[in-house]
Structure 1
Amino acid sequence: MEESDAIRPSPSGALPPRAHLESDAVALPLDGEWSFRCSPTAGGTPGFELAAFDDGGWDRVQVPHCWQLEGVPGRPRYGSPAYTNIAYPFPVDPPEVPDENPTGEYRRAFDPPEAPPGGRWIVRFEGVDSAFEAWLNGKRLGAAQGSRLTHEFDATEHLEPGRRNVLAVRVHQFSAGSYLEDQDMWWVSGIFRRVALLHRPEGGIDDVFVHAGYDPATRAGRLRVEAPAGAVVRVPELGLELPAGTAADVPRAEPWSAEEPRLYRATVSTAAETVELAIGFRTVSISDAVLIANGAPLALRGVNRHEWHARTGRALDEATMRADVELMKRSNVNAVRTSHYPPDPRFLALCDEYGLWVLDECDLETHGFELLGWRRNPADDPSWRDALVDRMQRMVERDKNHPCVIGWSLGNESGRGRNLGAMAEWARSRDPDRFLHYEGDQDCGDVDVYSRMYADHAETELIGRGEEPSASPGADARRRGMPFILCEYAHAMGNGPGGLTEYVELFERYPRLAGGFVWEWMDQCIAQTAQDGPHRGTEYPAYGGDFGEELHDANFIADGLLFADRAPSPALAELAAAYAPLALRVGGDGITVESRYRHTTTGHLGFAWRCEDDGVPVADGALEVPPLDAGACVRVPLPAAVTELDPPAVGVERWLTVSARLAGAERWAPAGHEVAWGQAQLPGRAAPARRRPSRPAGTAPALARSGGGWDLGQARFDARGRLERLGPLDVVGPVLDLWRAPTDNDELAQPDPPAATWRRLGLDRLRHRTIAVVPEQGALSVVSHVMPAGTDVGFEMEYRWRADDGGVCLDAVGSPLGTWAVPLPRWGLRMAVPAGLGDVTWFGLGPGEAYPDSASAQRVGRFSASVEEFQTPYARPQENGARRGVRSAALEGGGRRLTVEGGPFVLTARPWTTEALEAAAHTTDLVPDPEWVWLNLDAEHHGLGSAACGPPELPEYRLEARRFMLSLRFEALGR
């Protein structure tokens, strides 16, 4: 490639954009094995494009791919990936890029297929990062930029039928286009989407534009298909056959929506070619600041989706995309923002098929210019206008026939500028039936919806009421007449987000709030293998800085609802609960079922109930609920079988759980899949007293002095009054613990990260001083001060022990010392028990982890897991695994057992200490303690929030310093 082409901000030789069409015309996929060579600079190999060039010594790679991810995990063959969130990884000198510009060269030999005479041959590239030039048999086809956009080149003059042809492609990692592609993602390169040779027959169908609207008042559709003159449109199911360009009313059309993705298969034909279409009738409009689809307010329960695979980078196969879409549907997701570029077109076809609303985003982000005060920002530089408009055109033309696409986004985090206005002007003139979106301009001069990132709950509520703070007095009236979309919210980095349910409650309350998109679908980590240490050979998720980048943003890339191996994180369960399409409210006198569907009934659902006493099933059955229209609500009585049950025993909790499940299989889930649930405790004989009663006074075992310490029943204490043995078990503690291994939200919140404040105060280095050990009749009282060095704040703790019918009871009371100006990570007790106690059962919230502002997905019941299964493998190890609302728990193994009752308390069980968890950079840094399982028995935790890139915890989830009490009973059994 000539140097001028390498930095050209618009394509050279590429054909005008058009729709992706499923055609019966001749085509040859060119995916598969290519010859490949990579060099550190842009110079390239002289003559490599010639058909006679000998590439026998070159490597072979499978295209599509990203060259930095070739090789065994941990040993990349062609340079290394690099991660930055905002900063460009090269000097900002637009449109120039450095001489150190890794360049990949590709060669692919092929035999052209037979095709009808005449017509044209086209080579289509669906995605090449970042700039490339192509030759066929040594003849230049052209060059292009726009990594996640389709580019086609006319190869007719250079294709040689009946003999072997050679397609050669040179790809530069950096180009002028890189200044427009500063999305929050890895910098990786190569031909990462499909390549094909297409025959375009004479009289064929180069482009089609489907217009399929729906009128909810008449329940009729209207269809018009733009296509070449003479083409015929056929929709067999509707009995339609009409010339292209002719509009037809369709009185019996069923509308397309994310809830009911009704598609009609159609063809557009000429004598030379037939293309297949999937038509969905739907109309999206705006009325009184409400976003409306098919006559009903739209509720976007969305996620932001980068295209990523931990092994193949941006190169995704269709099976992976389908699995993602099916998991989204099972998780009650109904919308996707394609952050921050148009996706593989197969993904949009899947969204059409399965039902997902899509906000399609242009391949544009210039975020790095913010660090320069937006100087020379391409969004406002006239010399970049054509490049930006070209990107908008290529997205819109490619994706315009997908019913799932309801809006076009101009891009992301590119500041403001006249070129954004030019993009909007072109898009609105080409496709006035979809709304325009761009978050970066609060005046909303070029768009149809008001959009923000990470507005907190309070501001979101103001916006819902149309009372948001003024961005510009002149623009206020226009903006307040627009629907509101949170294009990013509830940042799912590490352990979090907190407050997701409260956001969705606001969406339900205010019609102006059209919903939003959680950031983001999955961790964009890269699979690597530990090269040494006890975990040698074990795979782990790598993030920024793990590849020697001179600039990087560490684990900010690990902020997804899925882990890098696509295993769901606890946040996905929380999201599924928050996004549930039904609200099920269980009470002592009945059950309320409220539909949150907007476009379908509940006729596809069945309902079931289950009663449990202290987590043990006692009865279950089907619940009769009449089908509900969208948005309707009904109250049904408790099942007779529930009311006829004998009351539970004194102190036993009876819980009724109601579940809404698929009555039949859907393409995305089997019959019986749960879409929503509700739960409540039913009244019993008496309020439960979780601690077992002590023996009457005078009958409890006496406290006995022994070997410098004390014995009390099965408990053994040292001279300072600390528990050191319980029956057959050696133990450590319990003692006050205020520290947790900081979450990403704790570490990164701005402007004052809690973790830094906590460390300055010394909450990670508490010291314990025994004030008094007071023996009593049948009890032992221990008072201590727990404080960090260098300050006068801390807690006074009283631990009062007494024997209890084979076990021992503890009342632990903490009272603040000094003046606290910061919230606390946790209040509670830490202790250790023998490592062999590796199996845990508990009665409380489960089965997964839960924190104060992230517990909607967990229900009260009886659960079991190993200590290993208690751990949540966040890419950067941090606080995890807490089970809330625990009334009783047991750890056992090797014939020994420890039970803990009381509270309710928050239970955490780990094979390592909190200090080891905090010190680890990756999951493979964690090594189980050979002696101990470490427990936390907490009264409460500080909330999670999503302040790594969003609002902190809501005020009600701040853990302020105040008096607390934990009442627990311990009993050990075994040998």
Structure 2
Amino acid sequence: MMDSEDAFGYVESYRPGRGRRPARASFASSLPSLELDGTWRFRLAHGLSDLTPGFEAAEFEAAGPEAADDAAARGWTDLPVPSLWQLHGHGSPAYTNIVYPFPVDPPRVPDANPTGEYRRAFEVPADFPLGPGATLRFEGVDSCFAVWLNGIALGDGKGSRLPTEFDVSHALRVGPNVLAVRVHQWSAGSYLEDQDMWWLSGIFRSVRILTRGIEDFFVHADYDAETGTGTLRVDTPHAATLSVPELGLEHADPAGPHVLAGVEPWSDETPRLYQAELVADGERVPLRIGFRSVAVESGRILANGRPITFRGVNRHEWHPRTGRTLDRATMLEDVLMMKRHNVNAVRTSHYPPHSEFLELCDTYGLWVIDECDLETHGFERVGWRGNPSADPAWREAYLDRAQRTVERDKNHPSIIMWSLGNESGVGENLAAMAEWIRTRDGSRLIHYEGDRESCAYVDVFSEMYTGFEAVKLRGLAQEAPTADSAHDAHRRALPFMLCEYAHAMGNGPGGLREYRDMFDAHPRLAGGFVWEWIDHGIERTDANGATYYAYGGDFGEEVHDGNFVADGLVFPDRTPSPGLLDYKRISEPVRVSCDTETRTLTIENRHHSRDTGYLTWAWQVEGDGVLIAQGTLDVEPIAPGSSATLPWPEQAAQQPDEPGDAVTEHWLTVSGALAKPEPWADAGHEVTWGQAPAHTPEPVASRLSPAPATSLPAHAAPATPAAIHLGNAEFDAHHGVLRKIGAIGLDGPRLDLWRATIDNDERTIYGTPLATTWRAAGLHRLHHKTLSVEPSASGLVVRERVTAAGVDHGIDATYRWAAAAAPTAGDGDETLWLTLELQPYGTWPCSLPRRGVALSLPGALDQVEWFGEGPGEAYRDTGAAVRVGRFRASVAGMQTPYVRPQENGNRRAVRWARFTGADVGGRGGNGVTGASGLEILGAPHTNLTARPWRTQALDAAQHRHELHPDGLIHLYLDDEHCGIGSAACGDPLPASEHVQPTPATFTLGFRTV
């Protein structure tokens, strides 16, 4: 081991590194390279006092833990590179959002500093060039590292998500070589990398040895939207030639400038790339050139001369098994999913992504805000004291990170903005970054959200989690003024953008449509980026073999932020969440609206530059969810920014004329799908749709509710005085609770007000979380007191009082039961109707999670068919993606697998639902003795949730594998259900989305089928 403490001074040094080559672009070349990914030898040390003496020497032998001959060499194992060592059993992951997991004492870090020692033996072939261009390139190492090749020290580096290159021309040799790398989990650089994500360490991106011929180049491809002219030049320090065959350039001077008429511009909608080649001294470098222009005019962001609105997402790099180590297939999956869900932009939160991801954005068409690897959010917890952004000692490190970001990624046409970083307070170091970037690349905008008071050095006014009303004011340029009038005037002239909004944690986000409508209404609003793309769950398996996703606190962290890391639009396995489906719907670039009164449909093209000719149009009419008619529409291409109004198809516009058809709801659905394959989806992929009633039906309640003259009397059964019969239903005589209908055993329905709290109920940055007020009111532990059970000739009336221990407020509930002697539909079974009247009493301190009833059915009835909204879940402020129709699912399939279990699975506006099972007749042991199922009727509608476990079990579970079916089907039928919102990291739930404890009456029907 090195004797001097100074040998490790680089760990706590402000400097970004020593011995590194200048930053440059990432590009492919025809010159040879050596890929060093694969199996490396690895040992994890506890800190600087636990390092292996001489491990960097070429002759060192890294033996396994069983070795007995050399104690210094013991403890080594194999580890794949790239990877993160905690995900291979070496130490543990840790998650924090803001707080540093070590004392805030910059630039010092703890003595307990896990350090990975890596060794890689490799062969250099005889024909590999060993000249001055030989370069060792690390694409990403977290967080600080030092490097030796064949025992020769090359240098050290920081900046985890940025490439680092070392000259190896003096150390590389033909034949056997040994590369040794020491990686420290904590370093001074960790103070600049406090991003909201898992703390994980290692060589997590690729390593290779390159031959440098063409050192670097910078492609400038400007586009004049008025003339359609492109201007091309390629800056490079080498004597080289440029060829772009499609544009008639062959072996041209790269510097040009080459003025080219009639070029096709690059955009997210038409990502036109011209294949090119740069040649120098026999080296060939392929280029992909996209012409485009970016500007701010009159408070709007213009791309290629036209205003754009971002329908974006924030994207961390994540895979549930490999963490931030991603392969190309995973990156491609992300890009394709984004395109298929109408996303047009990505903010690379909060660091530059793998460079291949940017290549995919170039190819398939996504605007990119490329963010620097910088966040110092933990200093907020100490009042921003000592924040590096305002400390000159950190200036070099800040500039280094900006330079390495821009230089690596400067040739990607998809990048529309450079972002200085995230949540790093204010200070001159940020201004210095912006100045350097603007000098180096004036073709893109500069973004930073954290200095929103002045916005002095940025090109957009950016905020996060701004509420509806405040966004509207910014759309009108009526935000509160800043202290400095010059800064205020500058800020009001800028476009406004939400770099983060609609926090997608757990069940949510709500309110997406409200944000979209404001973006539409106010030209200054440039759209926004939902937080975030993916849940960062770590895949784990329990003792029984069940897979679940771990989050903060599951690894014994000293400090952590729980499941706040699970806040994505896709689940860890990249299954779309209901939130992503909603976002696709409200982000449609072409919108369809169907007007029932005028029998017209309007198609609005909100594309930036593409007409609608790539879509084919289809329509269908369904009656109670059953297809009646369908066809195609002939729609002429609609130009971007324009709309067209068309008459309904003749068959859809006709009123139904068959006898008794007033009982049927007819719905028209129009959809626009890809007419032919696109690079990102197959032909037939649905891009947009609209739906409306084909005619206004008679309300369901008046169609189905029993008239008093047809009601059956309620009476006590002579043989069982503990029971009351009403038609084919049996009630408990003491409490008036329904126990059986036909042959189906039941428990309930009874008034229920609680939901398994969602993340937006449990967290807020404003005031008191909803869940806290609900629990204080005892809504999760209600008691039912039966006041009276009154059978009569007209039915059964049950009165009860519902309240919680220790409080003096509650609800008086009156259950009015009636049985229809002659049902209007079905197979002859009677229909049992419940009208529930609710009257709150006392002084209520809060709103309600939900207002409805709960009941349970035999577990065999686990197949569901319903007519209403579907196929997925929806709540009062979510569900943009659902449509009216007839749907089928198993009860298990109706569950939404949020990483932390919570309220989920509500189906909205259900007219009827049938619960059946395969071959359930005769199974007396499960409560079904001859009936095939139960139908539930809304009057006119109900919210329906069906689960194989009770709400209490769902509320108690912390991970999905903790939930186990209990043998029953638990139904929750709600008159109203509280909204979802985005309060876990945003404004409180709007008052309009609350359920207030006010008097209410609603009706439900039950019958066997």
> Given the superposition, is the C-alpha separation of residues 685 and 807 from structure 1 closer, same or farther in structure 2, using an over 3 Å criterion?
closer
Aligned residues of 2:708 and 2:794 also touching (Cα < 8 A):
no
> Given the superposition, is the C-alpha separation of residues 791 and 156 from structure 1 closer, same or farther in structure 2, using an over 3 Å criterion?
same
> Does residue 759 of structure 1 match 2:796?
no
Give the Cα–Cα distance (whole angstroms) in 2 for the partners of residues 226 and 751 of structure 1: 55
Letter in 2 for 1:417: G
Q: Percent of aligned positions with the same letter in both sequences? A: 53
> Does residue 619 of structure 1 match 2:635?
no
Give the Cα–Cα distance (whole angstroms) in 2 for the partners of residues 492 and 60 of structure 1: 38
Please name the residue that 1:257 is paired with.
Answer: 267
Give the Cα–Cα distance (whole angstroms) in 1 for the partners of residues 464 and 696 of structure 2: 47
Matches within 5 A, 1:936-947: 936-947=972-983
Letter in 2 for 1:349: E
Deviation at 1:189, TM superposition (A): 0.2
> Given the superposition, is the C-alpha separation of residues 229 and 51 from structure 1 closer, same or farther in structure 2, using an over 3 Å criterion?
closer
Give the Cα–Cα distance (whole angstroms) in 2 for the partners of residues 765 and 827 of structure 1: 15
Please name the residue that 2:723 is paired with.
Answer: 709
Give the Cα–Cα distance (whole angstroms) in 1 for the partners of residues 995 and 698 of structure 2: 31
Please name the residue that 1:523 is paired with.
Answer: 535
Matches within 5 A, 1:407-446: 407-442=417-452, 443-446=454-457
Please name the residue that 1:791 is paired with.
Answer: 807
Give the Cα–Cα distance (whole angstroms) in 2 for the partners of residues 196 and 382 of structure 1: 34
Question: Structure 1, unaligned stretches of length 5 or more?
Answer: 71-76
Off by >6 Å, runs of 4+ in structure 1? none
Question: Structure 2, unaligned stretches of length 5 or more?
Answer: 65-75, 823-829, 922-931
Matches within 5 A, 1:439-518: 439-442=449-452, 443-474=454-485, 475-518=487-530
Q: Deviations over 1:626-665 (max 9, x none)?
A: 1111111000110122234634601211000011101111
> Does residue 885 of structure 1 match 2:930?
no
Give the Cα–Cα distance (whole angstroms) in 2 for the partners of residues 698 and 527 of structure 1: 58
Please name the residue that 2:871 is paired with.
Answer: 847
Give the Cα–Cα distance (whole angstroms) in 1 for the partners of residues 138 and 504 of structure 2: 33
Q: Deviations over 1:519-538 (max 9, x none)?
A: 0000011001112xxxx111
Aligned residues of 1:326 and 1:668 also touching (Cα < 8 A):
yes
Letter in 2 for 1:593: I
Correspondent of 1:84 among 96, 112, 115 = 96
Aligned residues of 1:691 and 1:968 also touching (Cα < 8 A):
no
Correspondent of 1:950 among 963, 976, 986 = 986
Please name the residue that 2:562 is paired with.
Answer: 554
Aligned to 2:904, what secondary structure does the other structure show? coil
Please name the residue that 2:927 is paired with.
Answer: none
How many pairs align?
Answer: 958
Aligned residues of 1:690 and 1:901 also touching (Cα < 8 A):
no
> Does residue 191 of structure 1 match 2:203?
yes
Please name the residue that 1:152 is paired with.
Answer: 165
> Does residue 31 of structure 1 match 2:37?
yes
> Does residue 341 of structure 1 match 2:351?
yes
Please name the residue that 1:668 is paired with.
Answer: 680
Letter in 2 for 1:451: S
Aligned to 1:328, what secondary structure does the other structure show? helix
Give the Cα–Cα distance (whole angstroms) in 2 for the partners of residues 371 and 101 of structure 1: 23
> Given the superposition, is the C-alpha separation of residues 229 and 123 from structure 1 closer, same or farther in structure 2, using an over 3 Å criterion?
closer
> Does residue 873 of structure 1 match 2:883?
no
Give the Cα–Cα distance (whole angstroms) in 2 for the partners of residues 526 and 699 of structure 1: 57
Aligned residues of 2:238 and 2:280 also touching (Cα < 8 A):
no
Letter in 1 for 2:91: G
Please name the residue that 2:937 is paired with.
Answer: 901
Deviation at 1:784, TM superposition (A): 1.3
Between stretches 893-902 and 557-566, larger displacement belongs to 893-902
> Does residue 816 of structure 1 match 2:847?
no
Between stretches 788-797 and 576-585, larger displacement belongs to 788-797
> Does residue 800 of structure 1 match 2:816?
yes
Give the Cα–Cα distance (whole angstroms) in 2 for the partners of residues 216 and 703 of structure 1: 82
Matches within 5 A, 1:635-674: 635-644=645-654, 646-647=656-657, 649-674=661-686
> Does residue 140 of structure 1 match 2:177?
no
Deviation at 1:55, TM superposition (A): 1.6
Please name the residue that 2:216 is paired with.
Answer: 207
TM normalised by structure 2 equals 0.94
Deviation at 1:473, TM superposition (A): 4.3
Please name the residue that 1:49 is paired with.
Answer: 56
Matches within 5 A, 1:89-108: 89-108=101-120
Please name the residue that 2:736 is paired with.
Answer: 721
Aligned to 1:887, what secondary structure does the other structure show? strand
Aligned residues of 2:864 and 2:916 also touching (Cα < 8 A):
yes
Give the Cα–Cα distance (whole angstroms) in 2 for the partners of residues 925 and 134 of structure 1: 45
Letter in 2 for 1:796: D
Please name the residue that 2:709 is paired with.
Answer: 697
Aligned residues of 1:652 and 1:688 also touching (Cα < 8 A):
no
Correspondent of 1:933 among 960, 969, 980 = 969
> Given the superposition, is the C-alpha separation of residues 777 and 497 from structure 1 closer, same or farther in structure 2, using an over 3 Å criterion?
same
Deviation at 1:586, TM superposition (A): 0.6
> Does residue 919 of structure 1 match 2:931?
no
Please name the residue that 1:3 is paired with.
Answer: 8
Give the Cα–Cα distance (whole angstroms) in 1 for the partners of residues 584 and 382 of structure 2: 40
Q: Deviations over 1:882-935 (max 9, x none)?
A: 0000000011112420100123000000111111111111111111112x2110
Give the Cα–Cα distance (whole angstroms) in 2 for the partners of residues 149 and 84 of structure 1: 22
Give the Cα–Cα distance (whole angstroms) in 2 for the partners of residues 282 and 571 of structure 1: 32
Aligned to 1:23, what secondary structure does the other structure show? coil
Aligned residues of 2:714 and 2:791 also touching (Cα < 8 A):
no
Please name the residue that 2:576 is paired with.
Answer: 568
Aligned to 2:393, what secondary structure does the other structure show? helix
Give the Cα–Cα distance (whole angstroms) in 2 for the partners of residues 561 and 471 of structure 1: 35
Please name the residue that 1:227 is paired with.
Answer: 236
Deviation at 1:813, TM superposition (A): 1.6
> Does residue 316 of structure 1 match 2:330?
no
Q: Deviations over 1:275-325 (max 9, x none)?
A: 111111110100011111011111110000000111001100000000110
> Does residue 961 of structure 1 match 2:997?
yes
Aligned residues of 2:714 and 2:796 also touching (Cα < 8 A):
no
Q: Deviations over 1:588-611 (max 9, x none)?
A: 211000011111111111111110
Deviation at 1:693, TM superposition (A): 4.0
Q: Deviations over 1:174-205 (max 9, x none)?
A: 000000000000000000001110012xxx31
Deviation at 1:119, TM superposition (A): 4.0
Deviation at 1:8, TM superposition (A): 2.0
Q: Deviations over 1:774-816 (max 9, x none)?
A: 2221301111111112222221111111111312111112122
Letter in 1 for 2:728: Q
Letter in 2 for 1:713: G
Aligned residues of 1:357 and 1:406 also touching (Cα < 8 A):
yes
Deviation at 1:271, TM superposition (A): 2.1
Correspondent of 1:301 among 297, 306, 311 = 311
Give the Cα–Cα distance (whole angstroms) in 2 for the partners of residues 117 and 384 of structure 1: 36
Give the Cα–Cα distance (whole angstroms) in 1 for the partners of residues 874 and 8 of structure 2: 56
Please name the residue that 1:129 is paired with.
Answer: 142
> Given the superposition, is the C-alpha separation of residues 698 and 343 from structure 1 closer, same or farther in structure 2, using an over 3 Å criterion?
closer
Aligned to 1:462, what secondary structure does the other structure show? helix
Give the Cα–Cα distance (whole angstroms) in 2 for the partners of residues 21 and 361 of structure 1: 19
Q: Deviations over 1:449-474 (max 9, x none)?
A: 10001001110111011111223342
> Given the superposition, is the C-alpha separation of residues 955 and 596 from structure 1 closer, same or farther in structure 2, using an over 3 Å criterion?
farther
Letter in 2 for 1:213: D
Between stretches 774-783 and 650-659, larger displacement belongs to 774-783
Letter in 2 for 1:83: Y
